[in-house]
Structure 1
Amino acid sequence: MALQAPPNSPRTNRRSRRPVRQARLKLPRPFLYPLRLLIVGVGVSACIGTILSAANLRSVPTVTPPDNVTSQQLLSEQVSPPPAPAPLPLKKPLTQLAETTQAAIAADSTLDASLLFVDLDTGEYLDVAGDRPLSAASTIKIPILVAFFEAVDSGKVNLDDSLTLTQEVIGGGSGGMQYKTPGSTYTALYTATEMSVNSDNTATNMITELLGGDAVLNAKFQQWGMTQTQLNNPLPDLEGTNLTSAKDLAHLLARVNQGEILSVRSRDRLFRIMGATSNDRLLPQSLGQGADIVHKTGDIGSIIGDAGIVDLPNGKRYVAAIFVERPYNDPKGKELLHKISRQFYDHMAKKEIIQAPSQPVAPETAPAPTP
C-alpha cells in the first residue's frame, strides 16, 4: 500500500531549493591591489615578530633558586637593606680635655680606659679609644633592655606576659631571682626591671630567651649600628666574652634619647627603669648636686663600666660611656673613672645656663564668676 502525503502537507517547490546568490561588492581595480598588499604585509610582520620574540626568550637565562632557598628568602634578598643609622653628632673634639684625660690614664700603667662623652646639644665630645671593643660585663643589659621595649612596641611582647623561671636560665652573680624556685612565674615587665635595676643575671637570661636568643639580639645590635657589641654567653659571663664599646653604648643611648628606635612611651619607661639603678658607685659619684642620671653599670672585677645620660641643673644634657680596665677589684680603677667623669661634668657645668620656656601658672583657686 503506497503512503500518501498528509492532506495539508505543502508541495515542495524545486525552485526554492536552489541557493540564492548574494550580490558581491566589487571594488574598483585601483583599490583592490593595494588592499591585497596591505593584508600580505600585516601577515609577514606578524610572522617576523613571533620569530624575534622566540629568539629573545631563548637568550634570557633561566634562574632556578637552590633547593634550600625559600621564596621568602629570595624576596628578602631583593629588598634593599635599611639605611645605616645616623652616627652621633660629633662636631667638635675637646682637644685640651682629651690631653688632660690621656695624661690621667697614663699616670698609672696598671690602668687603661676607653670612653666617649658627647654634649647632645652642641656635639662637643671627648673620645679616648671609644671604639675599642671590651668586655661588656652588665652594660650588655642596656641594648637588651632597648630590644625588649622595641619588641613591646611591635606587639611581639606584652608587658604582662607571664615568664616561667627554668633551671636552664638561672645564673649566678648579681640578682635574687637565682634563688627562686624553678617554675615560678613573673611578668615580662618585672623581669626586665630586675635585669636593669638590680642587674639580675637570671632575669637577663630570661629576657634574652624571650627575645629569641643571642643570634636574634646580635642581629638587632648590628641593625642599630652597634658594630662592636656581641652577646656570646649567658650571664654572668665572668670570662668577659660578651663585648661592646663605649662608642656603641653612647650611640645607642643618644638615638633612644632623640626618639629613635622606641616609642615615646617605651623610651620614658626605659629611662625610669635606668634611673632607678641600684648601683650608684660609678658615674653618679662624680656628678654635682642637682644632676640627674639614667644609667647602667657593669663590673666583672677586671673591668668596670658605666653608661648613661646626664642632665645638669643648667639644662645641659650629655651622654657618657666609660670603661676602665684594672687589676682585679683594684679601687684605683674606680678613682680614675670618677676623675675622668668629673672633668667632663665640670666642663659642661660651666656652660651657659639654658632657660626653660616660661609656662603659664594655673591659679590656685578658680576665679570668681563674672556677674
Structure 2
Amino acid sequence: MTLNKLKDQISSRLEEQPGNFAIAFKDLSTGETLQLNEQDFFHAASTMKTPVMIEVYKQAAAGVFSLNDSFVLKNEFKSIVDSSVFSLNAKDDSDTTMYQHLGDKISLYNLVYDMIIRSSNLATNMVIELVNARNVTQTMRQLGAKKIQILRGVEDSKAFAKGFNNVTTANDLLVIYEKMAKGEIVDSASSQAMIKILLNQEFNEIIPAKLPKDVKVAHKTGNISHVLHDSGIVFLPNGKKYVLVILSKNLQNEDNAKKAMAEVSEMIYKYVSSPKES
C-alpha cells in the first residue's frame, strides 16, 4: 500500500458522508505525512482545550502559578464582548459533577485534568480566565501554529452571536501534537505530563475506536452541533508513534460520520503498522 493509495481510500470513504473533512497525519518515525484540506478553518470546539492546557504548563514553568495552586470553583464568567456576566448550564456540559463543587477549592491540576479527559466546560472557563485566551493564541504562534485562534471560553453567547469563535486547522493541531510528542513544548517533563493527561481521555469514539487495545492514544476530541473532531498522538506497542487529526463540519448524520472517521483512523493505523515494501 502506498501513501497515495491510502489517501485515495480515505477520500473515497469520506466522500460517502455529507459534510466537510480535514485530515493531517504524520508518522513520527519516518516523517511521512498525509494531508487533506489541512489548511481549512474549522470551529475548534473542544480541541482548543489542548492549547489552553499548553498555556497552563508554559505559565507554570515561568512561575506565574503552580499546578498545585487551588482556586474557588465558580460559575460566573465575563463575555469578551461587553464584560457582562454569564453562567454555564450544567445540562449542556459533558461533565456535570463539577457543578456539585461550586464554592469549593479545586487544584489547577484537577481543573486541567477535567477540562481534558471529560471536556468540562466549567473547568475550561476557569482555566481560560486564569491564563487569558490572548496568551494562548500567542503561544500557538510561537509554536508554529499560525491559524489557531483562541478568543474565549465556552458558552459566551454574545461572542458567538457576533461570530467571535475559536477556530483551528488540521495542520495547526498536527504542529502542536508533533512538538508535544517530541518533548518540545515547554520542556520534556511538561510535554510528558500533558501526554499523560491526554492518555486518560474518556471520549474514545473516533481515533481509538477501531484500534487494538494495546495501542494507546493521547488525544482530545471536540464536538458541537454538526461538528466532530479528534486529534492527538497514537503510540504503537513497538515504540512507533504518529500524530493524527481528523476534523469535520456541516455534518448531516453525526453517527455515520463518527463511524467513517473511526474507519479512517483504522486505515492509517493499518498503513503504519504494516511492513513496507522496500
Shorter-chain TM band: 0.7 to 0.9
TM-score (structure 1 length as normaliser)? 0.65
Answer yes or no: is 1:105 the counterpart of 2:24: no
Residue of structure 1 aligned with 2:110, choices 190, 205, 215: 190
Cα displacement string for residues 181-225 of structure 1 (whole angstroms, at most 9, x for unaligned residues): 5432111111111111111011011111111x2222222222222
* AA partner of residue 268 (structure 1): Q
Answer yes or no: is 1:119 the counterpart of 2:43: no
Which blocks of at least 5 consecutive residues in structure 1 are unaligned? 1-92, 353-371
Distance 1:286 1:349 in 2: 14
Residue of structure 2 aligned with 1:167, choices 64, 75, 88: 75
Distance 1:207 1:329 in 2: 33
SS in 2 for 1:235: coil
Distance 1:282 1:206 in 2: 27
* AA partner of residue 215 (structure 1): R
Residue of structure 2 aligned with 1:332, choices 248, 253, 256: 256
C-alpha deviation, 1:102, in angstroms: 1.6
- Specify the alignment match of 1:145 in structure 2: 53
- Specify the alignment match of 1:228 in structure 2: 147
- Specify the alignment match of 2:135 in structure 1: 216
Change in CA separation of 1:261 and 1:221 when aligned onto 2, cut-off 3 Å: same
- Specify the alignment match of 1:291 in structure 2: 215
C-alpha deviation, 1:340, in angstroms: 1.2
- Specify the alignment match of 2:84 in structure 1: none
Which blocks of at least 5 consecutive residues in structure 2 are unaligned? 78-86
After TM superposition, the structure 1 = structure 2 runs for residues 240-259 of structure 1, keeping only pairs within 5 Å, are 241-259=165-183
C-alpha deviation, 1:324, in angstroms: 2.1
Change in CA separation of 1:181 and 1:246 when aligned onto 2, cut-off 3 Å: same
Distance 1:181 1:268 in 2: 29
C-alpha deviation, 1:125, in angstroms: 1.3
Change in CA separation of 1:177 and 1:289 when aligned onto 2, cut-off 3 Å: closer
- Specify the alignment match of 1:310 in structure 2: 234
* AA partner of residue 128 (structure 2): T
Q: Is the 8 A contact 1:314 1:349 kept in 2?
A: no
TM-score (structure 2 length as normaliser)? 0.86
Q: Is the 8 A contact 2:23 2:36 kept in 1?
A: yes
Aligned residue-pair number: 258
* AA partner of residue 137 (structure 2): N
SS in 2 for 1:117: strand
Distance 1:94 1:236 in 2: 40
Answer yes or no: is 1:133 the counterpart of 2:50: no
Distance 2:67 2:245 in 1: 28
Cα root mean square deviation, aligned: 2.0
Structure 1 or 2: more strand by fraction: 2
Distance 1:270 1:350 in 2: 29
- Specify the alignment match of 1:154 in structure 2: 62
After TM superposition, the structure 1 = structure 2 runs for residues 62-101 of structure 1, keeping only pairs within 5 Å, are 94-101=3-10
Which stretch shifts more, 175-184 or 341-350? 175-184
* AA partner of residue 185 (structure 2): I
- Specify the alignment match of 2:126 in structure 1: 206
